[in-house]
Every structure is written in C-alpha cells, then in structure tokens.
Structure 1
C-alpha cells in the first residue's frame, strides 16, 4: 500500500493535507479559487476556467482551446468547545479547540479532440481534520480525526447547438485515521463501574487506520436559451468506500498492546446541482445555484473485525439530506481586473441528538470576496477570501453501548461549540 501511495503522489504531483470540512458534514467545496470568490454560486453554469468541469462536466464546452488550472486553499477553522454540565468521565479535563488548519491543492486540465472537449480534475472532495489535546474533556470520544480523499476525474463533453452534455468517471482514494483515549478494565473497576467517576489515570489510546479505492461517475448538461442566460444541471453519484486497515491499542506509556484487522463502510453522498447565470450587461454577471446532497446515506460509523464481524467501534450518525443556496456576481472593472463577491447558506446534515466531537457541525453562512488579474492574455491569477460562521452549536454525546465494555454508563459530554472558518485561495490559469 505504501508503494501505491507513492506512485499516486508522483503521478499527480500533489500532496493532500487533512482539512476540517468546509461544507455540510465533511464535504469540501474548495476546488476552485475563482468559484470561492463568489461563494461557489452558479458553478454548474459558470464559464470562469477549467475548474468548472468538476461541478458540471458540460461546462467545459465554454472554455476555448487548452487550459491548465493549478490552485490551492489554506483553511483556518475554529471549533472551540465550552463545557456546560458534563458528567461521569467527562467531568474532568480541559476545554479545547479542535480546529486544525490545512492546505488543499487542486489541478485541472482541459483539452480538445475531434469536436469533443476533454478534461481532467484532481481534487479533494471530502476531508475531515479535528485534533484535540490528549487530556481534553472529551478525549474518550475523540482526539484526532483525519480523513483525506483524492479524486481523479477524467471527463468528456460535446456542444450541440444551445445544449452541451458531459460525462465523467471518478477514481477516489480515501484514507482515514481516528484516535481517542481509552480506559482499561482495571481502571474501570477502580472507578466503581458501572457508577463511574472522573479519573484519567491509566488512560490508553485507541487508533483506527484504514484506506480504500472506490469508483463513481458524474453527468451534466448546460442550456443557453439566450445570449445572456445559461442554465446548468449536474449529478454526481454516490461513492461506496469500504475502508480496510488496523484497529490498534496502546498503553498509557505507549506500549503496543495489539491490533485487529478491521473494516468500515462509508457511503459518500450523491449530489444534484442546479445553476443559472445571467449577464446583466457587459460588466456584470449574476449567478445563482441550489445544491442537494444526499447525506442520508451516512447512517452510522461502525468499525468491525474482519475475522468475525464483531463491532470494534460504533457511532450512530443518522444524517439527513441537505440543500446549499448561493448567490454571487462577477464584475469586470477593466481589461486587467475582474471582481467577485457572493453569499451562501449551507445546511448541516447533523441532527442535534447525534452531533459528535469529531464532526461538531451546524448550519453555515458564507461571505466571499475575490478578484482575477490578467497578467497577459493567456495567463491569469485568481485570489479569493471567504469567512464562514455558524450559530453556537450544542452537543450532548456519550460513549455508545459496546465500546470498551462501559456502554452508556460513562456519563455525557455536554457543552457548546463556537465554530468559524477563514479560507484563503489562489490559482493560476494558463491558456496554451
């Protein structure tokens, strides 16, 4: 598997870091610096550059000739927990901020062949990165959560009059790591199990690691009813990942205690995007989009032994489907500068009773600004910034029955999160 990872990294020339999710659940929208400048409004109908192919493969037909887009996004999240009445083993320990900054790169290529437009996207569509101190209050629920994906998506499109059609295939690699603190049986007995009291003496560590490859596809169309209007509709399929790896345990002093071969199934959601763009005049373009994400596919996070199918770790999720709405604009200031702005509202798939320290998600509001500078006719640079904020997010979580032989007698982690995100993006667009 190490060889496979090195070959993949050499092939795409990118290094993918973990990231706290910047959209609903652990979805990432950060695949385009030009799109970020208007909160990704209207991406399925946009004509900015080759990055539009990820959101709608039919959008490539609006990009002339050959183009390469190389971009990156620096994400600075905050997930600041404040205690409010935690009980049992969660009564002791410090409050903490689980936000974990990350850099997310992406790459796009667009070409032509015998009347068809060809494209290639290399992006990170899903990611999760929270990291708390090992002595924080919720350490028995989660310390580090690191989920990474690399999606390689070739696509092809054809323009037919006012219509364009596109299709793509995705090869998606996923890698995950989850750690938390655990209480050995001897310590539990000393605590008076099942009536536990707070005590961190003897804490060990549980570490789950796994990876997998899976396949998906995407479809799209655009329609240009007038010279000023463009409509885009796209669909991206569900991807069924089956992670395979090890569940390891370590003593308090770091001594390795053994491992089980483990697996976990994770169904990543399907998506439907409906976008519209309207060119008001030669300077101003307004864009709007609504995106549905089928997060109800994520019902639970269950890790099982390969040998007998018994449960090693279980967390109910029971997420629901979501909508994301975005409104934005492009404004051509002069021959060198194009300005962007946008707002968005992004629903969380997390139901309040099932919120976890690994994904303390809530509805998010976006405010974005951006600009494009034309260095020369075939070379442009995009720069964007976005701020995301959410209402104060309450949590009431416990260790679920079957874990560490302590079930729901451990008490409850109760409190609230103050969540916010800053995103800085830039990309280079080269026509050749």
Structure 2
C-alpha cells in the first residue's frame, strides 16, 4: 500500500478555502439577474462580493497555483531529478491542463484550467530567474491584468448595473446546447488569452512566496505574514469600496475619470486581497496545526483534491441553474446563488473527507498524474522510509537549483 508524502498544512488549507471563494465568484454568473429576490439581502451580498470575492478569488487561486509550481520543482529536485527535466514535466502538465479546460467548456462557459495551462507553458521558465527579475515581470503583468479586469467594471458603471450582470453566462431557455458549445469554442482563444493575462500576476507572486516557504513554514514567517495580511487586506477593502458604493447606488462617479479610477482600483487592489487571503489562512494554519480538528482535516483534504472539486462545482451549477436541468437561473438572485455556492462547498468538504478516509486522491488528480507520466511527483511508502533523507537532501539541492533569495521579504 502507498500513501501520499507528508504535506504542509497551510497550502492545502488555503486551496480548500479557495474553492469556497471560487464558488462565490462563479455561482452568481449563472443567474439571469442578481437583483432578483429580497433587495436588502442582495444589497448586502453585493457589498460582500465586491469587497472580498470579485477579482479576489481568481488572484488567490493563481497565487496558490504558482506556489504549487515551485513546490513541485523542489520536490522533484530533492529526489535528484534535474531541474530542466522538471520544468519540462511542468510544461507537459500545462498542456494537459489546457486540454482539460477545453473539455470543461463542453459543460460550462467559465473555465480557468486552460488559462493555468497556458500560464504554465509561458511562466515555468521564470522558476530559474532571480527574485529581482521575477518581481519586475510580476509588476509589469499587473498592468494588462488590471486593465482587462477593469473593462467589465467600467461597462457596469456606465450601464448602472452590477458587474455580475455584465459577466453573466446564464443562457436563455430554449438555447441549443450544441450551438452554445460552438460559440464557446469560437471565443475560446480570446478568452484563454484574457484569462492568462488575468492570472499571470498571481502565479508569479505565488512563485516568489514559495521560494521563501511562506505557507509551508508560517510559524517562522509569522511576523511578516501578520504585517502583509493587514496591509493587503486593508488596501483591498479600501480599493473596492468605491465600486461597492457605486453598484449599490449609494454613490455615483461624477466624471469619466472617476469612473475609470473606480473601475481600475477595484481589480488592482483585488490582487492584493487575493494574496492577503492566502496569508490569512497561513496564519490560521499555525493555530490549526497545534490541535488539528475534523474541520481542518476535511478542508485540507478538499485542498488536496482542488481540481476534482473545482470541476464538481461546474456540475452542480449546471444542474441547479441550467434550463436543461432544474432551471433556477431566473428564480434566484445574488443572495440565493451565494447560498447555493456555500452548500456546494460544504458537500465538497464532506466528499473530500470521505475520499481521504478511503485513501483516494480524486479522479481528476489521478487522471492528470497518469497523463503527465512517470516524472510526476511520486508517492512514498507507508513506512515513510527515505522521507527524512530526502528532506535533508532537499535543503542542499534546492539551494543549488533555485536562484539565490535576495533582500528582505517585503
């Protein structure tokens, strides 16, 4: 029998929590009108969504994806693999993620797997550059990433509607499914380019953080994480406040410049909010690791199966909202859709914990491992032999393979 190699708690806990943020971000896009239903509940939900979810969940997901790339590189080089071979494996993995994303489009018009696949192909080379280069490239990618996110927000402000209405993917009843998929494929190249632009800053930030082990060793970096979380979350909340006020009708931009400023500020600071949420979960993991309860274990199990349950969310949302299934897209507003998202996440937690107890990794993860090939990270025996030796070796090998870590953390 085999079991997965020991894993740090914080990254998996962050990935499990991230799926809740992703569910909150995607579920409202499946309803026809977010203002359907009780006005006060929808208004409160809109403020919550704008401050903590919209343009926050995606950067957090991207941050953790970039973090995982470095983890995979470290793990393989610690076992003696050549770093160039590992980067080649990561690019091959990216190609399969791109394929997964195209198949995913059969089910829903929202996909991020293809964008991460392309990001792997384009950004894996940054794993060998120095920190200064990494940070400069990350800063430069913030410009197109922010502008791409600002356009839907600007359209929403101009039309006096929620940005969620602008981004809605709800299909009217009677739409032909085959025609829908054909339209998605036609727009897929453009969508994947935009998606890659949106996730690139987060992926690069995750690489930088992983070089320092911020999530794997949160206790050692606790002081830095506390400062970083306070700064990023404060900046994020303040940056999203004008957008939230405008979309709820409590404030109206008085000029084109004010509208552009509002539209740009929300996604720009949203990147910081996504990074801050990952850091906040790392701080939570410090306490959780001391007395790991059943909820922590279950959410961590969900994080280890994040791709499986990301795809599971799509299945649920189609079943609930699609006219071909329950067809609730015209009967729910924002508040109700967030309730569906939360319930979907809770079911995912229970299912992931069941898989953990049975020693089952997850169907999507297992398939990806088989497709990528034998160079994918191996499993260790239940006796754990060689694990301590590999851990000791990793400190030496990682120093040789990865670029020097220069300067202070912040």
Q: TM-score, normalised by structure 2?
A: 0.26
Higher strand share: 1
Bigger radius of gyration? 1
Higher relative contact order (CA 8 A, sep 6+): 2
